[in-house]
Amino acid sequence: MKSENLLVTGGCGFIGSNFIRCMLADAGFQGRIINLDSLTYAGNPENLQGLAEEYADRYVFEKADICDASAIQEIFSRYRVDSVCHFAAESHVDRSIKRPETFIQTNIAGTFNLLEAARGTASQGSTFHLFHHISTDEVYGSLGPEGCFTEETPYRPNSPYSASKASSDHLVRAYHETYGLPTTISNCSNNYGPYQFPEKLIPLVILNALEGKALPVYGDGKNVRDWLYVTDHCEAIVEIMRRGTRGETYNIGGHAEMENISIVGMICDLLDEIAPAKAPRRNLITFVKDRPGHDRRYAIDFTKLNRELGWTPKESFATGLRKTVLWYIENRGWSERIRSGAYQNWIQENYGKRS
């Protein structure tokens, strides 16, 4: 990659932290990463522990909020940012239903601030290589029992979260078409893997099952998602940033459609095999009231990404899930600090008040 100073927003989050680890280990990238994160509840510097020492001249952290336009402009100028990989977003659907205003500010206004800073860099004659925007398959709405989302599928968001991400996608596209800003967009399916915040389905079920707690499943449990192992996702992003056509959108999927209830059952069976309990963990499954606007099925067609860039996922759902379960078992301390809130106190002591 040509970038010398790559700004990664939301780099202390789940996918962002995995991406930074992937980039710094990639021999094809010799630039510097500026990790910008406001350290909201899901941002945890522990996800990148040790990188500042290992890559002292290639990794820096900046605590800032993408909604603060002046702070963004100052960081672009100070670090001579020439590329952006934009992960920072409010991303939990349940939270968007309860507090939609936060999603509007972060996902729309925050993306606008980043685009303006990138446009300013390019208009001043400085080299700007790429603004890559991370989005979601949820912008396309809900599928019936057949078919898959393609890059040509019309947008039909059904939650405040997906509506805010759809808006940010449109802004990125508009800045390419209107101002000639070099951009790419990727819309991914549901991610899973190490460092995922335990409010999400897979880590929540793993940790609850290990502790003998109820395993909540919305509705009848037959909502279908296409699951993508986080390392596969990061490698796809690298390929898009490196060789993707500017102005284009690429869908990233795991080719792993699963019903929620099947995933919960698989986790129970894996844990019973790896860390047996007194009773089968499937006994802990509890069906709860469905959430409003719960899309029935998502599935991604990543033919374009495979055809143009040769990418395909390396992990099957079975292999990726086993790796994920083992990671959470081996990193119980990380999970306990997250769940107890102890990491929040550590962040406040080291980085000041949380955003």
Give catalytic residue positions: 137-138, 161
3-state secondary structure of 101: helix
Judge whether 313 and 178 are in contact, CB under 8 Å: no
What's the CA angle centered on 210, arms 207 and 211, to 5 degrees? 90
> Tokens in use for 320?
């990726």
Consecutive H or E run containing 67 = none
Please check whether residue 266 is in contact with residue 202, taking contact to mean a CB–CB distance below 8 angstroms: no
Half-sphere exposure of 228 (CA within 13 A, CB side): 28
Q: Are 85 and 7 in contact (CB under 8 A)?
A: yes
CA–CA separation, 87 and 161 (whole Å):
14
Per-residue burial over 102-126, b if 16 or more Cβ lie within 10 Å, else e, is bbbebbbbbbbbbbbbbbebbeeee
Rounded CA separation 130/213 (Å): 45
Residue 165 tokens, joined: 């991400």
**Residue 323, SS3 per DSSP:** helix
**What is the rounded CA–CA span in Å between residue 306 and residue 290?**
35
- The C-alpha atoms of residue 316 and residue 259 are separated, in whole angstroms, by 15
Q: Which residues pair with 33 in a beta bridge?
A: 6, 59
